[in-house]
């Protein structure tokens, strides 16, 4: 595979289909990027790896923008990362500038994507060279840190322990079935269907897709369509006017994307908050610059989230975890050896991202007004269709009806987690990374046998550094929580 292979006419058309699906999907309230990426895992089973990459990256890129359409026009963010866009953009829509706000969101999304792609292409080889020095010990600890930091970042200041609980539950779920070293059954409770473990596809679709249906379908929410959206194409002068915010938000999006579990949600909120502080304006009164800050960070996050996912095997966000899962179904395992086991695949991914970005820009402008009509569909109409897709996606992965039961069960688990204020993201990351943590750490301990533990710390300095980082992650989060509690009491 090569960079230019992504420009194959057939793959370009596949990417176009992905972009159209992504924009329309994310424009519908409640249908997140995480949900559609999870649903697509099983459905891509019989596709070639080139088609899978082109299609899923087309969907992923487009969903990052699509959520801003409903956020701006009807004050309902299509995706969680579009909430800051909603705050700054919906007041503009009420003033008749909704089209301009969406157009600026689209341009900002394209710029953010290009920045993320550039960073991915430039930094990935350096990270791979460093990561090749990792043994089982370092890989296991790195995966453990990924779960720990995702729990920290996705939890509130008031209750960070909820994020950690979610991550640890994910690790426990990943350990169900026969272990990979001694083939001992764990947590199967005599059920032969659980001997091979709980499929991550069922967990992903259940927690993100089915739980969303269970929460949203009982509501009788109806959405209105604004009568006026105004012009859509922003002038070039307006884009250049916000170059400082574009540059700043790109960096924020990249950094939060690289952090496992942070995702576009964290990036867009941070960029929005920093933008308000830098401009000393309140974006919620209606401000194009607020839309720019949110969307640039949200989309720069794609390249940032793919960076640790492809090079280290640690997904930076839930959609990237789904993308990695789809690659794994086709025998492509993310990590330092990805380009050696599949020569040229990283270059192909760069090309596919570039094509997807161009299609997002083109289809975005073409689908803005048609997408508005989709909001007239009542929730009771399209959510049952989504439920059907959830069932198909869970069954298609292994042709197992038991996987469908698991998916529905995790749907109810997702509802309980939402009610308890526990983030789903860390649990998903725990399920994805649980095998890495369990197998690699236990393998290392088996190799070292009865030798003193301090020898392991001395002989593997990178692993020792990772242990310190994990402990500091817990320490600083707990200290921050204590300060928050004291401030709250005052």
Taking all residues of the chain, what is their mean pLDDT, rounded to a whole number? Answer: 78
pLDDT value of residue 412: 92
The Cα–Cα gap between 75 and 82 comes to: 10
The Cα–Cα gap between 355 and 15 comes to: 7
pLDDT value of residue 225: 46
Whether 109 and 65 have beta carbons less than 8 Å apart is answered as yes
Span 178-217, pLDDT tens digits: 887 777 888 888 888 888 888 877 887 788 778 877 877 7
pLDDT value of residue 219: 64
pLDDT value of residue 156: 53
User: pLDDT grade, residue 483 (50/70/90)?
Assistant: confident
pLDDT value of residue 14: 92
Span 158-188, pLDDT tens digits: 567 787 888 888 889 988 888 877 778 888 8
pLDDT value of residue 224: 46
Res. 449: pLDDT tops 80: no
Residue with tokens 């959830």: 390
> Residue 434: how many CB atoms within 10 A of its CB?
25
Span 246-273, pLDDT tens digits: 888 888 887 777 765 455 556 777 788 7
Three-state secondary structure of 152-168: HHHCCCCCHHHHHHHHH
Span 384-420, pLDDT tens digits: 777 787 787 778 667 789 988 998 999 899 889 888 8
The Cα–Cα gap between 22 and 33 comes to: 8
Three-state secondary structure of the chain: CCCHHHHCHHHHHHHHHHHHHHHHHHHCCCCCHHHHHHHHHHHCCCCCHHHHHHHHHHHHHHHHHHHHHHHHHCCCCCCHHHHHHHHHHHHHHHCCCHHHHHHHHHHHHHHHHHHHHHHHHHHHHHHHHHHCCCCHHHHHHHHHHHHHHHHHHHCCCCCHHHHHHHHHHHHHHHCCEECCCCCCEECCCCCHHHCCCCCHHHHHHHHHHHHHHHHHCCCCCCCCCCCCCCCCCCCHHHHHHCHHHHHHHHHHHHHHHHCCCCHHHHHHHHHHHHHHHHHCCCHHHCCHHHHHHHHHHHHHHHHHHHHHHHHHCCCCCHHHHHHHHHHHHCCCCCCCCHHHHCCCHHHHHHHHHHHHHHHHHHHHHHHHHHHHHHCCCCHHHHHHHHHHHHHHHHHHHHCCHHHHHHHHHHHHHHHHHHHCCCCCHHHHHHHHHHHHHHHHHHHHHHHHCCCCHHHHHHHCHHHHHHHHHHHHHHHHHHHHHHHHHHHHHC
Whether 148 and 167 have beta carbons less than 8 Å apart is answered as yes
Span 89-114, pLDDT tens digits: 878 877 777 778 888 888 888 888 88
């Amino acid at each position: 595979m090569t960079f230019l292979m992504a420009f194959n006419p057939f793959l370009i058309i596949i990417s176009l289909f992905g972009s159209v699906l992504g924009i329309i999907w994310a424009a519908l309230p409640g249908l997140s990027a995480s949900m559609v990426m999870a649903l697509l895992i099983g459905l891509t089973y019989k596709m070639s790896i080139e088609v899978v990459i082109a299609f899923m990256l087309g969907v992923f890129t487009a969903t990052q923008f699509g959520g801003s359409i409903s956020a701006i026009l009807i004050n309902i963010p299509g995706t969680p990362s579009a909430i800051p866009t909603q705050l700054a953009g919906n007041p503009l829509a009420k003033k008749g500038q909704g089209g301009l706000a969406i157009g600026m969101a689209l341009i900002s999304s394209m710029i953010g994507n290009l920045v993320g792609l550039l960073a991915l292409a430039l930094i990935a080889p350096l990270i791979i060279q460093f990561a090749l020095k990792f043994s089982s010990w370092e890989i296991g600890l790195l995966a453990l840190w990924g779960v720990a930091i995702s729990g920290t970042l996705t939890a509130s200041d008031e209750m960070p322990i909820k994020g950690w609980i979610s991550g640890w539950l994910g690790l426990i779920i990943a350990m169900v079935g026969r272990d990979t070293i001694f083939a001992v059954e764990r947590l199967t409770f005599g059920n032969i269907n659980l001997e091979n473990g709980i499929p991550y596809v069922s967990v992903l679709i259940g927690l993100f897709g089915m739980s969303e249906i269970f929460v949203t379908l009982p509501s009788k929410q109806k959405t209105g369509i604004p009568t006026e959206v105004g012009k859509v194409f922003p002038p070039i002068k307006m884009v250049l006017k916000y170059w400082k915010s574009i540059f700043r938000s790109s960096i924020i999006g990249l950094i939060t994307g690289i952090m496992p579990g942070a995702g576009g949600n964290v990036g867009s909120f941070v960029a929005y908050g920093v933008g308000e502080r830098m401009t000393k304006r309140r974006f919620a009164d209606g401000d194009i610059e607020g839309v720019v800050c949110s969307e640039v960070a949200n989309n720069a996050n794609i390249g940032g989230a793919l960076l640790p996912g492809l090079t280290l095997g640690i997904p930076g966000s839930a959609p990237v975890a789904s993308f990695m899962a789809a690659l794994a179904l086709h025998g492509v395992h993310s990590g330092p050896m990805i380009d050696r086991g599949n020569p040229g695949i990283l270059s192909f991914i760069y090309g596919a991202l570039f094509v997807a970005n161009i299609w997002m820009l083109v289809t975005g402008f073409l689908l803005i007004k048609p997408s508005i009509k989709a909001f007239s569909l009542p929730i009771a109409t399209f959510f049952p269709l989504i439920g059907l897709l959830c069932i198909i996606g869970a069954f298609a992965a292994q042709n197992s009806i038991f996987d469908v039961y698991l998916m529905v069960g995790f749907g109810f688990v997702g509802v309980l987690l939402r009610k308890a204020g526990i983030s789903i993201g860390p649990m998903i990351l725990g399920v994805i990374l649980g095998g890495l943590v369990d197998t690699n750490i236990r393998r290392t301990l088996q190799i070292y046998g009865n030798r003193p533990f301090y020898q392991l710390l001395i002989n593997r300095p990178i692993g020792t550094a990772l242990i310190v980082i994990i402990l500091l992650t817990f320490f600083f989060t707990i200290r921050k929580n204590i300060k928050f509690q004291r401030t709250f009491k005052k």
